[in-house]
Amino acid sequence: RTDYITLNTREAPLDDVHARRALQYATDRQTLVEVVLFGVGIPATSFMPKGALYWNDTLQGYPYDIAKAQEELAQSQTPDGFPLELKIRGGSADAETLATALKDMWSQIGVEVTITPVEGSVLNEDYNTRNFQAMTNYWTNDIVDPDELVAYAVLPESSEAFGTGWANPEAQDLAREGASELDSAKREEIYFRIQEIYNEESPMLPLYYTPYVNLTTVRVHNFNHPPTGEYDWKLTWIEQ
C-alpha cells in the first residue's frame, strides 16, 4: 500500500509547482513512518509501490530539507507561506496522527494547516467532486501491470490524474504508449520516465509504503492477502 497527500492543482497556491515541491521537502517521511506506523513501513520515493513492475529504483525521492523547502517556496507565488486545509477521514487515529505531524512540519515554512476530519462517505464525495485543497489518500494495486495505476494517476480521462487536475502532455503521451508497448525494456524506460516527471511536478506527495497487516486467529484457515491488495476468501474457512 502507498499512502499519499493528494493535492488539488487546479487553484492557487497548489497550481504552483514550487509550492508543491516545498511541501515535498518539508515532509519528514521517516518520522511519519515512526509516529504513524510504529516503524512498520518505509518512506516512499515514487507514486508507484516499491517492488512493483517497472518501479523506478533509481529515484531518490525528496529528502527532508527545510532549507530546500524554503528555497522552493521563495520561487513560488506565495514566498511567505499559505493557509492549507487538509481533509482526513474522521475517526481514524492514524489519519489524525499523520495530519498533526504534517501540520507541525509544514508550519516551519509558513504553511498553516487546518485539519478537517470528514465522515468517510462525505470525504469520498468531496474527492469525487474535487471539493478539497489537500487530502489523505492511498492506493493498492489490483493488478500486477503498472498501467492501471499510471492511467489513474496521469490521464485526465481516467480520474483527472488521481483527482489532482494535473496535466502533463509528456506524461500523458507516455502513459498511453506504455499501455500498448510490448517490448519490456521499452516499457521500463517509459514508466521510469513517467515516475521522474511525476516527482518533478509533484501533484501528490507519496508518503510511505506499508506491508499489509492482518489480525486473525488460529481458527481461520487458508486466509490469503496477496501483494496486489485485494482479499481472497475463496478457500478461507473458520474452524468451529
Q: Are strands 82-89 and 220-221 parallel, antiparallel or unpaired?
A: unpaired
Task: Kindly report, residue by residue over 106-157, the tens digit of the pLDDT.
Answer: 999 999 999 999 999 999 999 999 999 999 999 998 888 999 999 999 999 9
C-alpha cell at 54: 517497472
Task: Kindly report, residue by residue over 193-211, the tens digit of the pLDDT.
Answer: 999 999 999 999 999 999 8
Q: Where are the beta strands (DSSP E) in 11-120?
A: 42-43, 82-89, 111-118
C-alpha cell at 77: 507565488
C-alpha cell at 212: 499489509
Distance between alpha carbon 68 and the CA centroid of its chain, in Å?
21
Under 8 Å between Cβ of 78 and 84: no
Task: Kindly report, residue by residue over 54-110, the tens digit of the pLDDT.
Answer: 999 999 999 999 999 999 999 999 999 999 999 999 999 999 999 999 999 999 999
From 176, 199, 198, select the one nearest 187 (Cα to Cα).
176
pTM: 0.93
Burial class (CB in 10 A: 0-12, 13-18, 19+), 163: buried
The alpha-helical segments, DSSP class H, found in the chain are: 17-25, 29-37, 66-74, 93-107, 120-128, 147-154, 156-159, 169-180, 184-201
Under 8 Å between Cβ of 177 and 133: no
What type of residue is 31? T
Say how many C-beta atoms besides its own lie within 10 A of residue 50's C-beta: 14
pLDDT at 231 (0 to 100): 84
The sign of the CA dihedral 189, 203, 165, 137 is positive
